[in-house]
Amino acid sequence: MSLPSESDLSSRAAAAAAACGVDLSAAGGAQVGRSPVNGLPVSSLAWSTPADVDAAVARSAAAYDAWRLVPAPVRGAVVRRFGELLREHLDDLATLVTLEVGKIGSEARGEVQEMVDICDYAVGLSRQLFGRTMTSERPGHRLMETWHPLGVVGVISAFNFPVAVWSWNTAIALVCGDTVVWKPSEQAPLCALASAALLRRALVDAGFSGDESQVVLGDAAVGMALVDSPAVALVSATGSTRMGREVGPRVAARFGRSLLELGGNNAAIVGPSADLDLTTRGIVFSAAGTAGQRCTSMRRVIAHSSVVDAVTDRVAAAYEKLPIGSPLDDGTLVGPLVNERAFASYSTSISAATTSGGSLVVGGSRVLDADARDAYYVQPTVVRMPAQSDVVHTETFAPLLYVLAYDDLDEAIALNNAVPQGLSSSIFTQDQAEAELFMSAGGSDCGIVNVNIGTSGAEIGGAFGGEKETGGGRESGSDAWRAYMRRATNTINYSGDLPLAQGVTFDV
C-alpha cells in the first residue's frame, strides 16, 4: 500500500476548498488538521473562541428577525440554488471528505449526494408546512394549528458524516424560517468551510445577508458555548452517547430544545429462510463500509443456529477479499480509521471479546507499511461470541462484527433489544410472519427497522433517528421538520357570541 505525501494531500485540499470559494490564506491559524489517509497535516486553521460563538449567534439571531418573515417558498428557492451549487462542486466536496475523514471515493460522493437530495426534499417541503383545521365543540368557532419559525438552530456534527448531517438540519431549518450556527467536527474543518461558502453564495446571490448561516470551528469548549447560549432555540447534536449526556441536560436546564442523534449498536437477525447471498452482501457493506465508522454500521449478527456457521463462513470469506488501502485509490473498499484513538478502541474491544470467550474468525490486525506509520488501517474483523457480553453491549466505532446464534425468534428479538442503544436493526428472512413480527410492537425497539437490507444506507425521505441511548431525535424526512418549528393552536370565533368550552358558564 502506497500513501500520498503531505504536500500532495495539502495541495489537493487547497484546490478543492478554493473551488468552493474558501480563501485558506484568510482562514489560516495554528490548529493543524491531520488526514487519516496518511496521518499527516492537511490544514492549518484558526479556531473560534467562546466569544466568537456569542458573536456568531448574535449575527444569526439578527438575521433570523428578517429571515422568518420571508415566504417559505422564497426560502426554498435559496435552498434550491444551494443544491445546484452542490451539484456543480460535488467532486470538490467529496475530495475534502476523503482527505479529512478517509472515506473512499464512492462513499464520499454519496455523502455529498445526500446533501443534494435533502435540498430537493426541502424545496418541496417549503410549500407543504401544513397545519390542521379541527372542529370545535362551540358553535360559530373554528380550531386550527399554525407552524412558525423557531429561531436560531445550533448544529454540532460528527466526523463520520462531516457534511451530510449538517445539510439535513440546515436545509430543513432554512425553509422552516430558522437560521443556523454550525460547529463541525474538529476533524473536518475544510469540509465545513467549503459547504458553508457555497450556502453563503446562494444566500447572497438571492439578496440576503449571508448571516443566516454561520460556522464556528473548535473543540468541545466551542460546542458547549453553542449549547449554553440562551439565544439558540434548538441544539441538534450528533455524536457519542457520552456527548449526549452532557448536551441534553445543559440545553434542558435553560428550557431549550435538543435533537440528539447518538450511538448505535446495530444488529441483523438472520432467519433460517434467509437468502444467504443477499444476506452476505448486506452484512459486509453494513459492517465494513466506511471502515465500520457509521452510526448505523452493523455491529452484531444474530443468526439462527441452522445457518450461523454458513453465514460466518461467507462473511469471513468476503472479508478476506476486501481491498484495504488509501481511499484515494480506485478499487479500495476499506479505508482508514479516523485516528489512533479509534485504533486503540478497536484493539481493546477485540481483546475483551476473546477474553470473554469469543473466537476470532477473521481479521483483528493493523495493516502496516512504512508509509502508514501515522495512519491506522485495520482488517475488518469477525468474532464468534457465546453470549452477548459487556463488550458486545458497547459500541466500538470500527469494523468489528460479533456473531451470535439463536434458536427461537423471540430469543433473537430479545438479543437485538438487549443493548442500551436503539438506532438501526434489520432481519434477513423470506418468512413474512417473521418480518412482520420484527416490525411490530413486539419486535425491534429501534428507530430504524429494515427487512432484507442491512442496517446502514438510510434514505432522505424517511425520518432518521433512534430510541433509548440513541437520543430519540429525528432528522431528514417524514414530519421531522416539526422539530425546527413552533406550533400555535388558534381558536377563531365568528359567532358574535361567547360560549365557553366544556359548558362552563361565567356570566358578567
pLDDT of 371: 61
For residue 344, the tally of other CB atoms under 10 A from its CB is 13
Does a structural domain hold residue 218? yes
Query: Which residue reads 485509490 in cell numbers?
Result: 329
The answer on 456 and 482 residing in a single domain is no
Among residues 107, 114, 261, 395, the one annotated as catalytic is: 261
Helix 72-88 vs helix 189-205: angle between axes, to the nearest 10 degrees?
Answer: 130
Question: Residue 253 has what pLDDT?
Answer: 98
Sheet holding 133-134, edge to edge: 133-134, 141-149, 485-493
Torsion angle, alpha carbons of 423, 427, 428, 433, to 10: -150
Which of 424, 315, 291 is closest to 366 using CA atoms?
291
Strand partners, 238: 261
- Per residue in 189-224, pLDDT (tens digit) is 999 999 999 999 999 999 999 999 999 999 999 999
pLDDT at 309 over 70: yes
Candidates 272, 357, 350, 359; CA nearest to 316 is 359
Is the domain of 230 the same as that of 278? no
Whole-number Å distance between alpha carbons of 266 and 295: 8
The mean pLDDT of 153-172, rounded to a whole number, is: 98
Q: Is 22 part of any domain?
A: no
Stated length of the chain:
508
Q: What is the arithmetic mean of pLDDT over 82-104?
A: 98
Is the model's pLDDT at 391 over the cut of 70? yes
What cell numbers appear for 228 in the block?
449554553
pLDDT over 70 at 370, yes or no: no
Statement to judge: residues 405 and 314 lie in one domain: yes
Residue 104 and residue 21: Cα distance in Å, rounded? 24
Enclosing domain of residue 354: 266-461
Q: How far apart are CA 124 and CA 64, in angstroms?
A: 22
Residues 87 and 220 in one domain: yes
The pLDDT tens digits for 38-81 are 999 999 999 999 999 999 999 999 999 999 999 999 999 999 99
Q: What is the mean pLDDT of residues 181-187?
A: 98
Task: Write down the mean pLDDT value for the chain.
Answer: 96
- Nearest one of 237, 242, 260, 248 to 157, comparing CA atoms: 237
pLDDT tens, residue by residue, 408-420: 999 999 999 999 9
261 is an active site residue: yes
Statement to judge: residues 74 and 205 lie in one domain: yes
User: Which residue in 304, 492, 335, 332 sits closest to 399, CA to CA?
Assistant: 335
Residues 161 and 289 in one domain: no
- pLDDT of 1 reads 65
Cα–Cα nearest to 247, from 57, 473, 417: 473
Predicted pLDDT at 2: 76
Let me know whether 338 and 303 are in one domain.
yes
Instruction: Give the residue among 394, 25, 387, 431 at the shortest CA–CA distance from 242.
Output: 394
273, 239: one domain: no
Give the C-alpha distances (Å, rounded to integers) separating 147 from 126, 144, 463, 486: 12, 10, 19, 6
Q: Same domain, yes or no, for 225 and 337?
A: no
User: How many CB atoms lie under 10 A from the CB of residue 52?
Assistant: 17
Is residue 478 helix, strand or coil? coil
Asked if 124 contacts 211 with a C-beta cutoff of 8 angstroms, the reply is: no
The domain tally of the chain equals 2
Domain assignment of residue 16, yes or no: no
Question: Is 227 domain-assigned?
Answer: yes
Q: Report H helices in 129-219.
A: 164-175, 189-205
Q: Same structural domain for residues 290 and 423? A: yes
pLDDT of 369 higher than 70: no
Same domain, 239 and 281: no
Q: Is 352 part of a structural domain of the chain? A: yes
CATH number, domain at 249? Answer: 3.40.605.10
> Residue 92 is inside which H or E element, if any?
helix 90-101
Q: Is 379 within the bounds of a domain?
A: yes
Indicate which CATH number applies to the domain containing 366.
3.40.309.10
Residue 134 included in any domain: no
What CA–CA distance (Å, rounded) separates 109 from 16?
A: 14
Considering the domain architecture, whether residues 328 and 437 belong to the same structural domain is answered as yes
pLDDT surpasses 80 at 150: yes
For 346, list phi and psi in degrees, rounded to 5: -55, -50
Q: At what angle do helices 6-19 and 189-205 cross, to 10 degrees?
A: 20
Say how far apart CA 336 and CA 334 lie, in whole Å: 7
In a domain, 8, yes or no: no
